[in-house]
Amino acid sequence: MGEQVRWGILATGGIAANFTGDLLKHGHAVGAVGSRRLESAQAFAEKHGIGRAHGSYEELCADPEIDAIYVATPHPMHAKNAKLALSNGKHVLVEKSFTVNAAEAQAIADLAAERGLVAMEAMWTRYLPHMVRIREILAEGLLGEVRSVVAEHLQDLPDDPAHRLNDLKLGGGALLDLGIYPISFTFDVLGAPKTIAAAARMHEDTGADRTLATLFTYESGAISQTISASDTAGRNIAAIHGTDGRIEIDKTWYAPTTFRRYLGKDELVETYESKVSGRGMQYQAAELERLVAAGEIANDILPPAQSVAIMQCLDTIRDQIGLSYPGEH
């Protein structure tokens, strides 16, 4: 492997285009793209100036000029696609949610560890500069003991039953596309919960979850609350409350944004403004590349074990709201 990690893009949808754009804008090497249809791969390659287009995922993962694969297929395909890449000796960055259930997530983590490869969940929010600063504040104890976390992710998305976001066969619903953000945020701040309670409102035609609320408690006594929805627009803000102060993250909290830190009741002591070029998806790619260069397979920001734990939490939520996906195994 050369000094620069050479990326392959698996799938050609909107998220793949966004990620590829940020990679190319910030000097990362994108060597190939793969799709189930050669025409789609060729069109994507031409649009982004990528040298090679493959007409199957198998061809992409077997490409000897590729070091890492970005998996951007719908949720139910993540496990199969990630294992295909790992089996071909490629590191993987797998779109969130990591998989559709914990068993699939564990299988990816196990295979990556066995092969000595990086398997990272593409929760890009974790790597954004404002989130890095928030973790520094928490590590320094500047908020005191964290008592509560609240976060929301509400969007007014298409209602069409045939749309991917409402199709259970494609992992549709608020949980895997939207809820994963605030739930992952609670893990980032407080770790795994002791108790999990969830409620949801389902799509009347497809059975996919449209609104999802969670309430978690922790061994420390802290509480977190999240709400996500695919049929109502919201402010998309978040907050962390501690015994000595609080952080208020502005809209849109999971993308590059600003936050304010208060001491006591209302003493403003810090205002953070993100200066991010592009969407900010390049930071997660840079972290995977750092791991590869260091000969490491996991970081402390979001190791595979935590991605598995998050999927276990989502499994519990689905049990409580009665949500299952066709063909799940």
pLDDT by 10-residue block (mean), the chain, 329 residues: 84 97 97 97 97 97 98 97 98 97 98 98 98 98 98 95 90 96 98 98 93 98 98 96 98 97 95 93 98 97 98 98 87
Say yes or no: 198 and 271 in one domain. Answer: yes
Say yes or no: 168 and 72 in one domain. Answer: no
Q: Is residue 306 part of a domain?
A: no
Say yes or no: 289 and 243 in one domain. Answer: no
Say yes or no: 152 and 244 in one domain. Answer: yes
Say yes or no: 134 and 262 in one domain. Answer: yes
Report d(CA 57, CA 84) in Å as an integer: 8
Q: Is residue 304 part of a domain?
A: no
Q: Is residue 203 part of a domain?
A: yes
Say yes or no: 27 and 166 in one domain. Answer: no
Instruction: Report the predicted TM-score, pTM, of the whole model to 2 decimal places.
Output: 0.96
Q: Is residue 33 part of a domain?
A: yes
Provide the CATH number for the domain around residue 48.
Answer: 3.40.50.720
Number of folded domains that form the chain: 2
pLDDT at 329: 59
167 is in which domain, residue-wise?
129-275+311-321
Say yes or no: 180 and 100 in one domain. Answer: no
Taken in order 132, 137, 140, 145, the sign of the CA dihedral is negative
Say yes or no: 202 and 178 in one domain. Answer: yes
Q: Is residue 161 part of a domain?
A: yes
pLDDT at 1: 43
List the one residue out of 119, 82, 96, 76 whose CA is nearest residue 15.
96
Q: Side chain identity at 79, as an amino acid letter?
A: A
Say yes or no: 118 and 251 in one domain. Answer: no
Q: Is residue 219 part of a domain?
A: yes
Provide the CATH number for the domain around residue 271.
Answer: 3.30.360.10
Say yes or no: 76 and 160 in one domain. Answer: no
Say yes or no: 60 and 170 in one domain. Answer: no
Q: What DSSP string runs through 254-319?
A: TSS-EEEEEETTTEEEEEEE---STTSTHHHHHHHHHHHHHT-S--SSS-HHHHHHHHHHHHHHHH
Say yes or no: 152 and 245 in one domain. Answer: yes
Q: Is residue 215 part of a domain?
A: yes
How far the first Cα of the chain sits from its last, in Å, is 35
Q: Is residue 302 part of a domain?
A: no
